[in-house]
Amino acid sequence: MNFLKETKDGVILMVYVQPKARKNEIEGIDEWRGRLKVKIRAPPVEGKANKELVKFLSKLLKAEVELVRGETSREKDLLVKLSAEEVKKRLGI
């Protein structure tokens, strides 16, 4: 999977975020960007979309999630404190 990279601390999950969506959801894999596409309800103002993204993925994956890159970009890298296999399993991919 292109959107997952193993590290010593866990897995880097590379996502493409679409803010101001109707509901929080994972749309699928964006093959062109090599990222997981995630729709978030919050607007991209004052870090609201970032906070909601971290909260949504933490709840979905039942793990600690931390934004490590892309604070002001739609392309973000998040550190998930799980193995790549566990992340795939919990995402249903």
- For residue 20 the two structure tokens come to 């101001």
pLDDT in tens, 58-74: 999 999 999 999 999 99
Helix (H, G, I), strand (E, B) or coil at 83: coil
Q: How many domains does the chain have?
A: 1
Task: Please report, as a single letter, which amino acid is at residue 57.
Answer: L
pLDDT at 41 over 70: yes
What does the alpha-carbon distance between residue 30 and residue 10 come to, in Å, rounded to a whole number? 22
* Average pLDDT value for residue range 5-14: 95
* Average pLDDT value for residue range 30-42: 94
**Could you give phi then psi for residue 27, rounded to 5 degrees?**
-85, -30
Task: State residue 1's pLDDT score.
Answer: 62
Q: How confident is residue 2, by pLDDT bands cut at 50, 70 and 90? A: confident
Using an 8 Å Cβ cutoff, are 23 and 39 in contact? yes
CA neighbours closer than 13 Å in the CB half-sphere of residue 72:
1
Check which CATH number belongs to the domain holding 19 and give it.
3.30.1200.10
pLDDT at 26 over 90: yes
Task: State residue 93's pLDDT score.
Answer: 81
pLDDT at 57 over 80: yes
Domain containing 40: what range? 4-91
